[in-house]
Structure 1
Amino acid sequence: MFDSDKNGVTVLKTLTDTLGDSINGYRDAATHVESEQFRQMFIELADKRSTIMDDLQAELGRLGASADRDGTTLGHLHQSWLDFKAGLTGRDDKAVINEVERGEDYLKEKFETALKSDSLDPTVQGVIQRAYGSVREGHDRVSQIKHSLEGQPSA
């Protein structure tokens, strides 16, 4: 048996679970926004996250492990809570963007924590670093939109 921490299996599984939450969150957000521009952006970002997940899962396979693509229980509970809240209060584009940006902050933090690990195999570190570039790009894109909407009233 191999040392999961040294090989990065535990870290990769955590990141793939969190990416699953991100993919599910983007797809859910795409169904709740009014703007076609935002809908297309969320679909595009979900697709990009799916590609990142494929890369991380390929690395897990190389290490003799696997992870599912469904996300975490906490992520599913969060989505259920958002759906319930939306049913009570409604969702507008600004509210959806705010929630997506919160998820982006969480995902970015997970990747940054992983990259600070001193015990990762250099190959695993490289895979995570490449994935992080895409995560950071998506985060920054959503963050810019959120900040541009801050001065506008909610619908």
Structure 2
Amino acid sequence: MKKTDEEVVQVLQELTEFVNDRVKGYEHAANETKNPGHISFYRELASQSRKFADELNKEISTFGGNPETDTTIKGKFYRQWMDLKATLTGKDENAIINSNLYGEEWAQKAYDDALASAALPQGLQQIVERQKQASLQACDQLKKMKDS
């Protein structure tokens, strides 16, 4: 694998870990919430995130890398903390929404970091930007849910 290909793979693998965190976070939220509308929304976002991870993993393979199936260490600790918090708060809807907003903020940072990398060719930048915009839309929807 060429040095530039290795850089592309590294950037995409790091981003995919955050996308995998997004999958786990929304699956977790769908299981924790009591609101049927929220369950549907969280499942939709988990499905969207799986598609994003598949798309990124396809590109990783194209550049000679191994698909990324893991999540970030930070994400693992955060989900454990949220489990504990849910036990203490009784799975409060606002707490679930806030944890999803926090996760989306981290996803935005991961997308920004990937886009700031000089390693990504134009076509990959477009894929990452499209996914970032979808994450922003999720953030907006979560904020509306929080305000209602």
TM-score for the superposition, normalised by structure 2 = 0.90
Kindly provide the amino acid, as one letter, of the partner of residue 96 in structure 1. Answer: I
Asked whether the equivalents of residues 18 and 71 of structure 2 are also in contact (C-alpha less than 8 Å), the reply is yes
| Match of residue 92 from structure 1 | 92
Measure how far apart 1:94 and its partner are. 1.1
| Match of residue 75 from structure 1 | 75
| Match of residue 33 from structure 1 | 33
Asked whether the equivalents of residues 108 and 135 of structure 1 are also in contact (C-alpha less than 8 Å), the reply is yes
Once residues 133 and 108 of structure 1 are traced to their aligned partners in structure 2, the CA distance between those partners, rounded to angstroms, is 9
TM-score for the superposition, normalised by structure 1 = 0.86
Asked whether the equivalents of residues 31 and 39 of structure 1 are also in contact (C-alpha less than 8 Å), the reply is yes
- 1:2-151 equivalences under 5 Å are 2-4=2-4, 7-146=7-146, 148-149=147-148
Secondary structure at the counterpart of residue 107 of structure 1: helix
| Match of residue 152 from structure 1 | none
| 1:8-46 Cα shifts (integer Å, max 9, x gaps) | 211100110001111100000111111000011000110
CA RMSD for the aligned pairs? 1.8
Once residues 4 and 141 of structure 1 are traced to their aligned partners in structure 2, the CA distance between those partners, rounded to angstroms, is 37
Once residues 130 and 30 of structure 1 are traced to their aligned partners in structure 2, the CA distance between those partners, rounded to angstroms, is 24
The 1:6/1:125 distance shift into structure 2, 3 A limit, reads farther
Measure how far apart 1:127 and its partner are. 2.1
Secondary structure at the counterpart of residue 64 of structure 2: coil
Once residues 87 and 6 of structure 2 are traced to their aligned partners in structure 1, the CA distance between those partners, rounded to angstroms, is 45
Kindly provide the amino acid, as one letter, of the partner of residue 138 in structure 2. Answer: G
Query: Greater helix share, 1 or 2?
Result: 2
Once residues 29 and 73 of structure 1 are traced to their aligned partners in structure 2, the CA distance between those partners, rounded to angstroms, is 19
Asked whether the equivalents of residues 33 and 39 of structure 2 are also in contact (C-alpha less than 8 Å), the reply is yes
Measure how far apart 1:129 and its partner are. 1.8
Once residues 15 and 139 of structure 1 are traced to their aligned partners in structure 2, the CA distance between those partners, rounded to angstroms, is 18
| 1:57-102 Cα shifts (integer Å, max 9, x gaps) | 1110110112332312221111111111222232211111011111
Kindly provide the amino acid, as one letter, of the partner of residue 9 in structure 1. Answer: V
Once residues 63 and 28 of structure 1 are traced to their aligned partners in structure 2, the CA distance between those partners, rounded to angstroms, is 32
Q: Which runs of 5+ in 1 are unaligned?
A: 150-155
Kindly provide the amino acid, as one letter, of the partner of residue 56 in structure 1. Answer: L
Give the number of aligned pairs.
148
